[in-house]
Structure 1
Amino acid sequence: MREESAYLLQPSGATMRVVLLGASGTIGRAVLEVLLADGHDVVCPLRRTDPAVPERVQCVIGDLSAPDLLEDAMRGADAVVSCLASRSGAPGDAWAVDHGLNAAALRAAEAQGVGRFVLLSAICVQRPVLAFQKAKLAFEAELQASDLCHVIVRPTAFFKSLSGQMDRMRAGKPYLAFGDGRLTACKPISDGDLARFIANTLTNPACDNRVLPVGGPGPALTPEEQGRLLAESLGVPFRMKRVPVGLLDAIIATLSVTGRLNRRARAKAELARIGRYYATESMLVWDEARQCYDADATPEFGQDRLEAFYARLAAGKVTVERGDHAVF
Structure 2
Amino acid sequence: MREDSPYLLQPSGATMRVVLLGASGTIGRAVLEVLLAEDHDVVCPLRRADPAVPERVQYVIGDLSAPELLEKAMRGADAVVSCLASRTGAPGDAWAVDHGLNAAALRAAKAQGIARFVLLSAICVQKPVLAFQKAKLAFETELQASDLCHVIVRPTAFFKSLSGQVDRMRAGKPYLAFGNGRLTACKPISDGDLARFIANALTNPACANRILPVGGPGPAPTPEEQGRLLADSLGVPFRMKRVPVGLLDAITATLSVTGRLNRRARAKRELARIGRYYATESMLVWDEARQCYDADATPEFGQNRLADYYATLASGEVVLERGPMRCSELVKYAGIG
TM-score higher than 0.5: yes
Q: Deviation of residue 259 (structure 1)?
A: 1.4
Which whole-Å CA distance do the structure 1 matches of 2:269 and 2:85 have between them? 20
SS at match of 1:59: strand
Q: Is the 8 A contact 2:20 2:83 kept in 1?
A: yes
Alignment-derived partner of residue 302 in structure 2: 302
Which whole-Å CA distance do the structure 2 matches of 1:243 and 1:64 have between them? 41
Question: Relative CO higher for 1 or 2, CA cutoff 8 Å, sep ≥ 6?
Answer: 1
SS at match of 1:10: coil
Q: Is the 8 A contact 1:275 1:325 kept in 2?
A: no
Q: Do the aligned partners of residues 4 and 238 (structure 1) sit closer, same or farther apart at CA in structure 2, a change above 3 Å counting?
A: farther
Which whole-Å CA distance do the structure 1 matches of 2:217 and 2:2 have between them? 10
Aligned-residue identity in percent: 87
Q: Deviation of residue 263 (structure 1)?
A: 1.4
SS at match of 1:43: strand
Q: Is the 8 A contact 1:3 1:298 kept in 2?
A: no
Q: Is the 8 A contact 2:178 2:243 kept in 1?
A: yes
Structure 1 spans left out of the alignment, 5+ residues: none
Q: Is the 8 A contact 1:157 1:189 kept in 2?
A: yes
Alignment-derived partner of residue 38 in structure 2: 38
RMSD after superposition: 1.2
Provide the TM-score with structure 2 as the length reference: 0.95
Q: Is the 8 A contact 1:84 1:102 kept in 2?
A: yes
Q: Deviation of residue 261 (structure 1)?
A: 2.4
Is residue 2:84 matched to residue 1:84?
A: yes
SS at match of 1:173: coil
Residue-by-residue CA offset, 1:180-226 (whole Å, 9 max, x unaligned): 00000000000000000000001101100000000001200100000
Q: Is the 8 A contact 1:45 1:61 kept in 2?
A: yes
Alignment-derived partner of residue 332 in structure 2: none
Is residue 2:291 matched to residue 1:291?
A: yes
Alignment-derived partner of residue 51 in structure 1: 51
Which whole-Å CA distance do the structure 1 matches of 2:293 and 2:2 have between them? 15
Q: Do the aligned partners of residues 119 and 325 (structure 1) sit closer, same or farther apart at CA in structure 2, a change above 3 Å counting?
A: farther
Q: Do the aligned partners of residues 288 and 126 (structure 1) sit closer, same or farther apart at CA in structure 2, a change above 3 Å counting?
A: same
Residue-by-residue CA offset, 1:80-104 (whole Å, 9 max, x unaligned): 0000000000000000000000000
Alignment-derived partner of residue 8 in structure 2: 9
Which whole-Å CA distance do the structure 1 matches of 2:142 and 2:98 have between them? 12
Q: Deviation of residue 327 (structure 1)?
A: 2.1
Alignment-derived partner of residue 326 in structure 2: 326
Is residue 2:231 matched to residue 1:231?
A: yes
Which whole-Å CA distance do the structure 1 matches of 2:265 and 2:138 have between them? 26
Which whole-Å CA distance do the structure 2 matches of 1:277 and 1:239 have between them? 24
Q: Deviation of residue 323 (structure 1)?
A: 1.2
Moved >6 Å (runs of 4+)? 2-5
Q: Deviation of residue 265 (structure 1)?
A: 1.0
Q: Do the aligned partners of residues 213 and 192 (structure 1) sit closer, same or farther apart at CA in structure 2, a change above 3 Å counting?
A: same
Q: Matched residue pairs, number?
A: 327
Q: Is the 8 A contact 2:9 2:197 kept in 1?
A: no
Q: Is the 8 A contact 2:82 2:118 kept in 1?
A: yes
Which whole-Å CA distance do the structure 1 matches of 2:325 and 2:104 have between them? 25
Alignment-derived partner of residue 165 in structure 1: 165
User: Match for 1:177: what amino acid?
Assistant: A
SS at match of 1:273: helix
User: Match for 1:204: what amino acid?
Assistant: N
Q: Is the 8 A contact 2:4 2:206 kept in 1?
A: no
Q: Deviation of residue 325 (structure 1)?
A: 4.8
Q: Deviation of residue 260 (structure 1)?
A: 2.0
Q: Deviation of residue 326 (structure 1)?
A: 2.1
Which whole-Å CA distance do the structure 2 matches of 1:324 and 1:135 have between them? 19
Q: Do the aligned partners of residues 110 and 149 (structure 1) sit closer, same or farther apart at CA in structure 2, a change above 3 Å counting?
A: same
Structure 2 spans left out of the alignment, 5+ residues: 329-337
Q: Do the aligned partners of residues 61 and 163 (structure 1) sit closer, same or farther apart at CA in structure 2, a change above 3 Å counting?
A: same
Q: Is the 8 A contact 1:86 1:93 kept in 2?
A: yes
Which whole-Å CA distance do the structure 1 matches of 2:108 and 2:66 have between them? 10
Which whole-Å CA distance do the structure 1 matches of 2:324 and 2:191 have between them? 18
Which whole-Å CA distance do the structure 2 matches of 1:118 and 1:143 have between them? 10
Which whole-Å CA distance do the structure 2 matches of 1:217 and 1:59 have between them? 34
Q: Deviation of residue 276 (structure 1)?
A: 0.4
Which whole-Å CA distance do the structure 1 matches of 2:212 and 2:2 have between them? 12
Alignment-derived partner of residue 268 in structure 1: 268
Q: Do the aligned partners of residues 322 and 298 (structure 1) sit closer, same or farther apart at CA in structure 2, a change above 3 Å counting?
A: farther
Q: Is the 8 A contact 2:158 2:191 kept in 1?
A: yes
SS at match of 2:142: helix
Q: Is the 8 A contact 1:3 1:299 kept in 2?
A: no
Which whole-Å CA distance do the structure 1 matches of 2:150 and 2:296 have between them? 26
Alignment-derived partner of residue 123 in structure 2: 123
